[in-house]
């Protein structure tokens, strides 16, 4: 597409999102007004200050819980599993299956370590607030791994009838000074003289099934920005809160409770103003009264003046009952909104470390309260994020490259448990059942493969067992050595010193069979016993 056409396409698609932007600004005004300021807002403009704080507290609380659920700090939010074909092959070799599981857990830990180092949670928290208030947000993860957030007024998007992404155009107003000298030269800009310019980024799906990306500035295409991505490698994620068929943009969560927020805002303002009016004290003196107004104004506490008590009255609003009614309605609205934004939830403790069980309970609560929002975000955010990070980590050698189609990321969502903690819980429940059976029949525990069980427990804990556990060959060697030491001790006790020394040396050198010697000694012991 030519550079001059990108501006026309942006303007065309912009008209289709006006209603979504307007609703987003209305929701932002009653929650966090700085998130999506009014049109024409500048640094010198004043933002609207709401008369209630339940909207801002609710959005921040819900965004925090979603963040904890999408990128938990202590537990992996995803797990890797093999394809069905490879899974069938591994079932025939349990030791190999355990080794594969250990390798996959290692890859999971490496991806989680990368997320921690990249500080993605800070940017994602901002993105989740945009998602809750405006219903839309665009997340970009460039090659420098610094996540960038675009609000709905910074981009346009076009989808097909099935909701599949077809076109994204980002519009940024930037200073020429912030551009690289090479780009300024390509765009024919002077960093010292020119004012801010519009930088357009086009991401469009072409007939080859790939997304073609390029940037243009000052109606000039930047050659260094031209590229194309497969759908699973696209570093742009256009998220929607509430999906509606045939619409390219989503509806916000705050919009669903906009009526309560508006009512609470109006009543809070009325209560505040009425309370201020009721608190005003005005004294009135009757005309031609004995009591002089001057004496009242100038008198100090404890002074004696001439007058009559009935000459002075106090003007009162007498709206106490009305204010009580308003306050009761405000409390009702606050309670409803607190429930909607999960402000009264006590699932997560106020602690430094959150357990996997608490995260699973939170997933249950959000899944049931928010109508499957977590499942939606797991598919539109978590899965693409994992695919993208695994591709990048594999390309730089941080994790081994996996055969195409052999490994696929599976997101554990909602009612299911998160991460490998679910496997550990199942193992513990299984061992409890086996222990109960062992009380009836002690042979039940003999069916357990202890080595494999220990490996699975370590994998479920996310522990790297390299150097921690010894392999089966080492165990066999240790057992053989212990057997040789025992036989040597028996020989030493049952033979003359010279003969015993020679036999022990033969065992150590491998010229004598320890088992044959043991059998021979047992036979000799039997003959001696008969005698």
Digit-coded pLDDT (tens) for 2-43: 566 888 899 999 998 999 999 999 999 999 999 999 887 877
Residue 527 has pLDDT above 50, yes or no: no
Residue 154 has pLDDT above 90, yes or no: yes
Token pair in block for residue 81: 């599993």
Q: What digits encode the pLDDT tens for the residues 188-207? A: 776 566 678 888 999 999 98
Q: Which backbone phi and psi does 399 adopt, to 5 degrees?
A: -130, 155
What pLDDT is stored for residue 127 in this prediction?
Answer: 94
Q: What digits encode the pLDDT tens for the residues 270-300? A: 888 888 777 777 888 888 888 888 888 888 8
Phi-psi region of 397 (alpha: psi -120 to 50; beta: other; left: phi over 0): left
Q: Which residues contact 159 (CB under 8 A, 6 or more apart)?
A: 165, 166, 248
Extended strands (E) in 48-118: 79-82
Residue 112 has pLDDT above 50, yes or no: yes
| Stretch among 110-124, 356-370, 411-425, 446-460 having the lowest mean pLDDT | 411-425
| Stretch among 143-152, 169-178, 337-346, 512-521 having the lowest mean pLDDT | 512-521
Residue 381 has pLDDT above 50, yes or no: yes
Q: Are strands 220-221 and 236-240 parallel, antiparallel or unpaired?
A: unpaired
What pLDDT is stored for residue 78 in this prediction?
Answer: 79
What pLDDT is stored for residue 363 in this prediction?
Answer: 61
Token pair in block for residue 404: 């195409």
What pLDDT is stored for residue 1 in this prediction?
Answer: 52
Q: Which backbone phi and psi does 370 adopt, to 5 degrees?
A: -105, 15
CB 507 within 8 A of CB 516: no
Q: What digits encode the pLDDT tens for the residues 300-321? A: 888 888 888 888 888 776 677 7
Q: Which backbone phi and psi does 227 adopt, to 5 degrees?
A: -170, 175
Secondary structure of residue 182 in the 3-state scheme: helix
Give dist(CA 515, CA 505) in Å, integer: 15
What pLDDT is stored for residue 130 in this prediction?
Answer: 95
- Which has more confidence, 454 or 518? 454
| Stretch among 101-110, 421-430, 457-466 having the lowest mean pLDDT | 457-466
Residue 257 has pLDDT above 80, yes or no: yes
- Which has more confidence, 59 or 83? 59
Tell me how far CA of residue 82 lies from CA of 364, 404, 406, in angstroms: 26, 11, 6
CA angle 132, 135, 138 (to 5 degrees): 100
Residue 349 has pLDDT above 70, yes or no: no
Lookup result for tokens 């899944």: 367
Name the band, by pLDDT with cuts 50, 70 and 90, for residue 421. Answer: low
Percent of the chain whose pLDDT exceeds 90: 23
| Stretch among 251-255, 346-350, 361-365, 413-417 having the lowest mean pLDDT | 413-417
CB 203 within 8 A of CB 211: yes
Residues in the chain: 531
Q: Which one-letter DSSP state was computed for residue 191? A: T
What pLDDT is stored for residue 464 in this prediction?
Answer: 56
Task: Compute the average pLDDT of residues 493-508.
Answer: 54
Q: What digits encode the pLDDT tens for the residues 91-100? A: 666 667 767 7
What pLDDT is stored for residue 506 in this prediction?
Answer: 56
Q: Which one-letter DSSP state was computed for residue 509? A: H
Percent of the chain whose pLDDT exceeds 70: 72
Q: Which residues contact 250 (CB under 8 A, 6 or more apart)?
A: 135, 136, 239, 240, 241, 242, 243, 244
Residue 340 neighbours by CB distance under 10 Å: 19
Token pair in block for residue 246: 């045939």
Q: Which residues contact 386 (CB under 8 A, 6 or more apart)?
A: 78, 111, 409, 411
Residue 340 has pLDDT above 70, yes or no: yes
Q: Where are the domains of the chain?
A: 259-340, 421-461, 473-530
Give dist(CA 131, CA 35) in Å, integer: 11
Residue 101 neighbours by CB distance under 10 Å: 22
What pLDDT is stored for residue 419 in this prediction?
Answer: 45
Give dist(CA 172, CA 154) in Å, integer: 7
Residue 480 has pLDDT above 50, yes or no: yes
Give dist(CA 44, CA 196) in Å, integer: 18
How is the beta sheet containing 236-240 ordered, strand by strand? 148-150, 136-140, 236-240
Task: Compute the average pLDDT of residues 127-143.
Answer: 93
Task: Compute the average pLDDT of residues 467-490.
Answer: 70
């Amino acid at each position: 597409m030519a550079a001059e056409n990108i501006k026309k396409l942006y303007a065309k698609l912009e008209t289709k999102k006006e209603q979504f932007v307007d609703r987003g600004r209305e929701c932002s005004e009653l929650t966090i007004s700085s998130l999506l300021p009014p049109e024409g807002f500048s640094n010198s403009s004043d933002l609207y200050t709401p008369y209630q704080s339940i909207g801002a507290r609710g959005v921040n609380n819900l965004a925090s819980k979603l963040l904890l659920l999408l990128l938990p700090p202590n537990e992996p939010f995803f797990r890797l599993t093999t394809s069905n074909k490879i899974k069938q092959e591994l079932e025939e070799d349990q030791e190999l299956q355990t080794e594969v599981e250990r390798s996959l857990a290692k890859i999971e830990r490496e991806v989680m370590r990368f997320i921690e180092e990249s500080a993605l949670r800070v940017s994602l928290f901002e993105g989740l607030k945009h998602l809750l208030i405006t219903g839309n947000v665009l997340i970009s993860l460039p090659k420098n791994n610094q996540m960038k957030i675009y609000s709905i007024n910074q981009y346009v998007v076009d989808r097909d009838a099935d909701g599949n992404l077809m076109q994204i155009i980002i519009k940024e107003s930037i200073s020429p000074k912030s551009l690289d000298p090479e780009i300024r030269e390509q765009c024919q800009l002077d960093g010292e003289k020119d004012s801010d310019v519009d930088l357009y980024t086009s991401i469009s799906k072409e007939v080859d099934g790939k997304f073609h990306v390029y940037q243009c500035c000052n109606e000039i295409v930047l050659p260094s920005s031209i590229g194309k991505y497969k759908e699973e490698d696209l570093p742009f994620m256009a998220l929607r809160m509430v999906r509606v068929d045939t619409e390219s943009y989503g509806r916000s969560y705050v919009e669903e409770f906009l009526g309560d927020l508006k009512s609470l805002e109006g009543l809070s303002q009325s209560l505040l103003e009425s309370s201020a009016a009721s608190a005003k004290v005005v004294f009135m003196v009757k005309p031609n009264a004995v009591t002089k107004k001057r004496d009242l104004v100038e008198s100090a506490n404890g002074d004696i003046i001439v007058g009559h008590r009935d000459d002075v009255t106090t003007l009162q609003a007498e709206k106490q009952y009305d204010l009580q009614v308003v306050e009761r309605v405000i409390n009702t609205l606050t309670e409803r909104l607190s429930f909607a934004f999960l402000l009264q939830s006590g699932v997560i403790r106020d602690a430094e470390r959150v357990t996997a069980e608490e995260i699973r309970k939170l997933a249950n609560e959000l899944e049931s309260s928010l109508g499957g929002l977590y499942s939606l975000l797991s598919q539109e955010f978590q899965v693409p994020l994992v695919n993208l990070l695994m591709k990048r980590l594999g390309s730089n050698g941080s994790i081994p490259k996996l055969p195409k189609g052999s490994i696929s990321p599976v997101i554990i969502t909602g009612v299911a448990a998160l991460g490998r903690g679910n496997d550990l819980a199942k193992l513990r429940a299984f061992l409890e059942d086996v222990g109960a059976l062992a009380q009836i029949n002690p042979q039940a525990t003999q069916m357990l493969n202890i080595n494999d069980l220990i490996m699975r427990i370590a994998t479920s804990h996310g522990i790297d067992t390299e150097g921690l556990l010894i392999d089966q060959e080492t165990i066999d060697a240790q057992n053989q050595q212990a057997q040789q030491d025992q036989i040597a001790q028996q020989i030493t006790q049952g033979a003359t010193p010279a003969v015993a020394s020679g036999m022990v040396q033969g065992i150590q050198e491998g010229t004598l069979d320890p088992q044959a010697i043991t059998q021979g000694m047992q036979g000799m012991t039997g003959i001696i016993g008969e005698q």
